[in-house]
A and B are shown apart, each in its own frame.
Chain A
Amino acid sequence: MLTAAIAPVTADFSNDTWWLWVIKAVAIIAFLLTSVLFAIWFERKVVARMQVRPGPNVHGPFGLLQSLADAMKLLFKEDMTVTAADKVVYVVAPMIAVFCSLLTFAVIPLGPSVSMFGHETPLQLTDFPVAVLYILACASVGVYGIVLGGWASNSTYPLLGSVRSTAQVISYELAMGLSLVSVFLLAGSMSTSQIVESQNTIWWVLPLLPAFVIYVVSMVGETNRLPFDLPEAEGELVSGYMTEYSSMKFAWFFLAEYINMLNVSAVATTLFLGGWHAPFGISQINDGMFNEGWWPVLWFLVKLWAVMFFFVWVRGSVLRFRYDQFMNIGWKRLIPAALVWVVLVAVVQGLRTFWHLDRSALFAAAAVLGVLVVISLLIPEKKKPVAAAPTGPQVFDPYAGGYPVPPLPGQVLPPSPRAQRRAAAALVGSSSEPVPTAGTPETDPEVHGG
């Protein structure tokens, strides 16, 4: 059998039967769809609490059925197809988005081996030596949904949205891939089950904190979420690539976005946060009882939703970036930082493998390096020649440059250049600027004061 040659991964799928695959696949789809319904409610509720309002609370207990009602409303809305659209691509685009987003969870381990109907089977649909690359591949194909949807609508705003999305995802996928490389180096594998297995003693988030930070930033960019939701920035592009979509086609884009959030959260959990391993403390109880059987599913879900909460938290507290700022972060900060970090990790890993340096020597080296950095910070910097400070009384002119700033009590505004220009224009009778003619209330409106 080729299995031996192709898949030296930790999870053992040799006992799986075809009906177990079907059960797992259906369970994953059902899990994702219900999670999306829950995620929409969760997001609205958490954002509401952050903004000191109740959020959805009418339908069902705690408003839990609100997203179900929303989904029904979307289903029954008129399904419009724009006349000038490229029909085939217009219909196919949302399907691509949803289909690709559903693929990722196939390789996410939700737990170790469990007994299912008398078969010992891992809680994971499949795994192979390049599982994490497969996740990246699915994500990169999923972008075609957004890009083609925006193009096929034959409308300006969707096209701009999809162009932005292309640039955004290509830029941030680089940083994301580079941040994952350091995990591959430490875990010695790209298979998800083996990466989780390698975090038995320590979660990679601690030794690889910089990589985790880079991953978190780029995962937000990758999923088009605030503060990086430029492809659908409603203040600039109506709603970006999905402007011309309605009813179920719109709902599919919506679904894909939330499933993608779940996907990147699951990847963060699996690669950095220990996967299904119980948190420190709980994992020691009763000889690791909570790391066996069905318990790990609970830890996985807790971590997954902690990352989801982070998504909502960021959305509730950070403003949208400008597009050039966003691109600067990606290309000038994240990618160089990720590159440097990968080289560092590779060097350390090489030292450990080829010179057999043990951990204490590495820690000692790191400590020496840290002390050197601290000492270098203590050395006073060479004083730069400071421009001679202006002498005499400091006059602060808040109206410099002609900005219309309201005066404080006791202040008198200087004569406004705008008012002067307007008066001059009125005298000349030029109609370049609409001049209030009837009932102008005051001749010199700029002089206030108290």
Chain B
Amino acid sequence: MSALVAAVPAVLAEGGQTSGAEEALFWVLAPVMVLAALGLLFARKAVHAALSLIVVMISLAFMYVAQGAVFLGVVQVVVYTGAIMMLFLFVLMLVGVGSSDSLVETIRGQRWAGWIAALGLVAVLAGVLGTALYPESVGLEEANARSNPEGVAEVIFADHVFAMEVVGALLVTAALGALVLTHRRRLGPKRGQRELADLRVEGGHHLAPLPAPGVYARHNAMDVPALDPYGNPLESSVPRVLRVRGQEADAAEYAARIDRVLAGRAAKPDENPPPAADPAGQAVNAPDIADAVAGVDLEGETK
């Protein structure tokens, strides 16, 4: 891109005639832009549509630069692509990967109205294009005489400074309005880290992080409760989601199995190495990975 940016102005012909390089750039960018614009229309996922729009915007910025409007091209990327589209994407992202747009008509006859409007637009555009004249472009040299940003600055801040001020006042008012409208009065005192900690101690809740789940060796064993120093299962060590779904393993079975392993080892002290898994594991009604997977699938369906 940078090489192109360097190359394009150097080889542009004088007087607005497109040179070879600009034409080449156009014929590279135009199909990309058309494809991306079609992608914007036909993409099923909102994020894909947004991405297509970003491609169109960046290609448009290249075109601006090639036309001698360097400032406009770069600002197009900084403002529209970098800030505004990012905010759009920020919201769209929260929709999730799995979902795609529903194509159900929410307004009656919306699709037909859309087609008719589109046909009208095509007719108008075709008419404009068919009758358009392309006179020699004039004034680019003078406009960019000092440099492109300075020319833009002169137009905005000298020729149209009043309109600029009005727009500025409007934007400040809008920003203030947004602040006022979204402002909520705080109902209670603010609770900081300190206050929350005090509350936790006062309420007698768990002060330390919750214990981690118990067994790691068998499968991904997040469902097995850890044991406290006295051998009692700690319910809180199993993630709450699993507990709510009823996928928690029975700690008593695991504890009993540990007891059996210990007993077996006591009976045969010279057994070496100790068994990694309980040889009688099949007999115990212990949850296995297959059960866990099946359970997850079921829950996923119902969710």
Contacts and interface: CB of A to CB of B under 8 A. Distances in A.
Nearest to A418: B204
A7 B90 contact: no
Interface stretch (B137-145, B157-165, B259-267): B137-145
Interface stretch (B78-86, B103-111, B171-179, B274-282): B78-86
Contact of B7 (A21, A147, A159): A21
Interface of B: 1-3, 5-7, 9-10, 12-14, 45, 47-48, 51, 54, 58, 61, 68, 70-71, 74-75, 77-78, 81-83, 86-87, 89-90, 93-94, 96-98, 140-141, 144-150, 198, 201-202, 204, 207, 228-232, 234-236
A2 B68 contact: yes
A427 to B, nearest CB: 16
Contact of A136 (B3, B78, B150, B229): B78
Q: Which has the most chain A C-beta neighbours within 10 Å: B61, B71, B204?
A: B204
A103 B140 contact: no
Contacts of A7: 9, 147
A163 B47 CA distance: 14
Given A6-B148, A130-B149, A154 B2 contact: no
A439 B93 contact: no
Given A21-B6, A126-B2, 18 more contacts: A1-B10, A3-B10, A7-B9, A9-B147, A86-B47, A133-B75, A137-B61, A137-B81, A148-B51, A151-B97, A154-B96, A159-B93, A166-B86, A401-B202, A434-B228, A434-B232, A434-B234, A440-B230
Q: Is the interface of A mostly helix, strand, loop or mixed?
A: helix
Interface residues of A, number: 61
Q: Is the interface of B mostly helix, strand, loop or mixed?
A: helix
A190 B149 contact: yes
Contacts of A133: 71, 74-75, 78
B82 A173 contact: yes
B273 to A, nearest CB: 30
A163 B74 contact: no
B64 to A, nearest CB: 11
Contacts of A417: 204
Contact of A141 (B58, B98, B207): B58
A233 B68 CA distance: 43
Contacts of A438: 230-232
Contact of A436 (B81, B89, B230): B230
A1 B202 contact: no
A89 B82 CA distance: 18
A126 B207 contact: no
A434 B13 CA distance: 83
B97 A434 contact: no
14 contacts: A2-B9, A3-B9, A5-B145, A8-B147, A89-B51, A128-B9, A129-B71, A136-B82, A147-B90, A148-B89, A401-B202, A421-B204, A434-B232, A440-B230
Contact of B90 (A85, A166, A402): A166
B144 A401 contact: no
Given A151-B97, A437-B232, A129 B86 contact: no
A134 B54 CA distance: 16
B97 A84 contact: yes
A62 to B, nearest CB: 34
Contacts of B12: 1-2
A37 B175 CA distance: 46
A220 interface: no
Interface string A1-44: 11101111100010010000100010000000000000000000
Given A162-B93, A434-B232, A436-B228, A140 B77 contact: yes
Q: Which has the most chain A C-beta neighbours within 10 Å: B86, B150, B207, B231?
A: B86
